Structure 1
Amino acid sequence: MLPIQTKRLVLRVFNIADADFVLELLNDPSWLRFIGDRGVRTCEQAKDWIQTRPIASQQQFGYSFYVVCDREQGVAMGMCGLIKRDTLPCIDLGYAFLPRFTGQGYALEAAQAVVLHAEQDLHLTRLAAMTDPDNERSKHLLNLLGFSLQQVLTLPGETRLSNVYFRESKKNAPNDQGASGIHS
């Protein structure tokens, strides 16, 4: 149940007050390089992104991307969570952190908590994840989480290659594809 807490972090649902954080994160050079330009350039566009992406997903499916905050001070550091894309056969784990919070184990800690939430609370037995082929940190993180590279492809609607990983839960039923629903 949300919020998700770890030793150092709190993962919570986005709200409109996170607009400045979203604006900074979605325009960070590493986001633009490895994830892509979402065209969010103003606070109003950030609020719209929050409403139409994480808040809408949380309301419709019961999961979304979550704001990852420092447990002691509540500072937004990054995001981590789940999304259903129409281009993948199961729910996708995603994460991104502001540069000043990378290299400190926060992404791994947050992603481990989200994977646990997916398995225990949402009863998902298979997860996907995507990375840019040049994103060495993400590839390493996914390996630590037990994801295996399955494909390198250009997804529909995209122009660049993506590494596509999958992770099977130890409790996995042979043909379980995770929860249903479409979110782009």
Structure 2
Amino acid sequence: MLNIQFTPFPVLRTQRLTLRQLTAADAPIIQFFRSDADFLRYIPRPKEPTLEQAHQHLRLLEDLRIGNEGVTWGLSRDGEPGLLGIICLWNLEPAHHRAEVGYGLRPEFTKQGYMSEALAAVIDYSFTQLRLHSLEAQVDPANAASIQLLEKHGFVREAYFREKYCFQGRFLDSAVYSCLAPQRAAGSSALAPA
């Protein structure tokens, strides 16, 4: 089983971004992510429209990090404090060397390659630092942009669940994509030495 530690916080850097720890100052953007109808169109979750709910969510994310159950990064351009988006590892399964990745970007920063940079950094961190074997992403099959991003980074569709979720009286489909650590993609199933 892997011994996953997120303390100290694992700051990651890309060509244009710093993937940093979220702070209370990020609450208004977290509020947007958890309440904007357009942002949530592919995420079956009830809206959480208040700033207090955003602060509660930030506390939950910090508790998950402290407990080494997940980590969420805020995406900021180098030298700028503003939050462009978030990316996380969660649903960790240390016994199986596996985690799920999730992400979101403010609409005004889409189609500029920011999430691609962030995802590449998180994939590298997951496989080299955490020594995970695989990453998973669950996606609304209608979310073409997210699927394109995942496929660009080597994720392949492994499952399609029809009417997996019931949300607000509707049954929704889900697609599961996964990516194996590079040495695994060649077909070897042996664990690398510790």
Provide the TM-score with structure 1 as the length reference.
Answer: 0.85
Change (3 A) 1:96 1:125: same
State the distance in 1 between where 2:133 and 2:92 align.
17
State the distance in 2 between where 1:16 and 1:42 align.
14
Change (3 A) 1:148 1:142: same
Q: Among residues 74, 80, 84, which one is paired with 2:81 in the alignment?
A: 74
State the distance in 2 between where 1:29 and 1:92 align.
24
What residue in structure 2 maps to residue 113 of structure 1? 121
1:12-66 C-alpha deviation (Å, 9 max, x unpaired): 12222221110012223333101133431111110111111x2122111264121
State the distance in 2 between where 1:126 and 1:56 align.
24
RMSD: 2.2
Give the % identical residues: 26
SS in 2 for 1:29: coil
Provide the TM-score with structure 2 as the length reference.
Answer: 0.80
Deviation at 1:155, TM superposition (A): 4.3
SS in 2 for 1:160: strand
- The answer on whether the counterparts of 2:165 and 2:172 sit within 8 Å (CA) in structure 1 is no
Once the two structures are superposed, the pairs formed by residues 43-122 of structure 1 within 5 Å of their partners are 43-52=51-60, 54-61=61-68, 63-84=70-91, 90-122=98-130
Q: Among residues 13, 32, 36, which one is paired with 1:5 in the alignment?
A: 13
SS in 2 for 1:151: strand
Which 5+ residue runs of structure 1 have no aligned equivalent? 177-184
- The answer on whether the counterparts of 1:16 and 1:51 sit within 8 Å (CA) in structure 2 is no
- The answer on whether the counterparts of 1:15 and 1:55 sit within 8 Å (CA) in structure 2 is no
Which one is further off, 99-108 or 116-125?
116-125
Which one is further off, 34-43 or 70-79?
34-43
Structure number, greater radius of gyration: 2
- The answer on whether the counterparts of 1:28 and 1:98 sit within 8 Å (CA) in structure 2 is no
What residue in structure 2 maps to residue 141 of structure 1? 149
User: Quick check: which one's strand share is greater?
Assistant: 2
Deviation at 1:109, TM superposition (A): 0.5
Q: What is the number of equivalent residue pairs in this alignment?
A: 173
What residue in structure 2 maps to residue 179 of structure 1? none
State the distance in 2 between where 1:40 and 1:85 align.
24
Which 5+ residue runs of structure 2 have no aligned equivalent? 1-8
Q: Among residues 169, 174, 184, which one is paired with 1:162 in the alignment?
A: 174
1:140-163 C-alpha deviation (Å, 9 max, x unpaired): 000011000011114467641111
